[in-house]
Amino acid sequence: MQDKLEAIGLTELQARAYLYLLGYSNGRKPTHVAEALAITRTNAYKVLDQLCDFDLARRSNTEKTYHYYAENPIALTSFVSEARNKALELEKTVKDSLDTLQKQYQRTVRHSEVKTGHGKAAILQAYAAQAKGDKAIHFIRSRHDIPFMGFDTMDKVRKMAKQTGQLRYGIIPAAPEAPMNPEVDERSNLHRTLVASSSYTSPVEWSVCGEELAIISFTDAGSAIRITDHVIAESFRDLWHMLNDNITANPTHETLLGKVKRKY
């Protein structure tokens, strides 16, 4: 039984003292408890008063000395409820503090990793790695993706995030091979910001998700560079938002929207 009381949350001494008191309906003096548990009288007073705080014991002053009596073990339910509430409060405190602590940790401890792969398989692997996360994806699309990878492949790639519910935010050149269809964008969780097709002509796509920045090149055999670094990822996200804000503030953005709204 002692082990069960300890599992509930009592200390070894508290459990032993409570079980000892249960054996004496007429109560016991602290000196008796000290002798039975092989502890000092000071510690006996301490553990007995703790049991009183838990409503597992009561104290009476009779014959000019203290006697301690075991209380109904039903009080253990309140003890457990209180412990549960404390645990929930502790969990909430940890969650509230975690974001701040994580940011401080990431500022002082850098974990960087760079992976480089070549060929279409490596590019698909880079896309799939970001689609597995639960963070939003921010990317700058290259018009060279479909000619290099094929329409069907890129269509599947763009819809990977839908399976995990990820949101995708793309800065996308307004071009015939990428017509805008709100229904299709909604199905693939895409929020697009259009730029003139002449604004970005590089065969390189940039994409960030969580702590990973992917740089995908559609030249030669193709390649994918994946950089896992919190600071670098945050830096690119800042750049993306800066570009996005400037693009959407330009009056020509609304004109582009009107030109490309058509169905596949």
Give the three-class secondary structure for 104: helix
Q: Would you give the end-to-end CA distance of the chain in angstroms?
A: 72
Interacting residues of 121 by C-beta distance below 8 A, sequence separation 6+:
none
Query: What's the rounded Cα separation, in Å, for the pair 135 and 57?
Result: 53
Q: 94 in a domain, yes or no?
A: no
Q: So what's the pLDDT on residue 263? A: 42
Residues 176 and 224 in one domain: yes
- Each residue's pLDDT, cut to its tens digit, for the chain (264 residues) gives 888 888 778 899 999 999 999 999 888 999 999 999 999 999 999 999 999 988 889 998 766 788 999 988 888 887 777 777 877 888 888 888 877 777 776 666 667 889 999 999 999 999 999 888 678 999 999 999 999 999 899 888 887 877 778 899 999 988 765 566 777 777 778 898 888 888 899 999 999 999 999 999 999 999 999 999 988 999 999 999 999 999 888 877 667 666 555 443
Neighbours of 122 (CB within 10 A): 18
Domain count, the chain: 2
Query: In this predicted structure, what is the pLDDT of residue 262?
Result: 45
**What pLDDT shows up at residue 264?**
36
- pLDDT for the residue 217: 96
Regarding whether 241 and 119 lie in a shared domain, the answer is yes
Q: What's the CATH code of the domain at 42?
A: 1.10.10.10
Q: Which residues contact 84 (CB under 8 A, 6 or more apart)?
A: none
**120 and 58 co-located in one domain:** no
The answer to whether residue 166 is domain-embedded is yes
Q: Is residue 121 domain-shared with residue 214, that is, in the same domain?
A: yes
Residue 208 lies in a domain: yes
Residue 254: per-residue pLDDT = 67
The DSSP string of 3-65 is: HHHHHHT--HHHHHHHHHHHT-TT-B-HHHHHHHHT--HHHHHHHHHHHHHTTSEEEEEETTE
pTM: 0.57
Tokens standing for 8? Answer: 């509930």
Task: Evaluate whether residue 88 is within a structural domain.
Answer: no
Range of the domain at 44: 2-73
- Residues 58 and 163 reside in one and the same domain: no
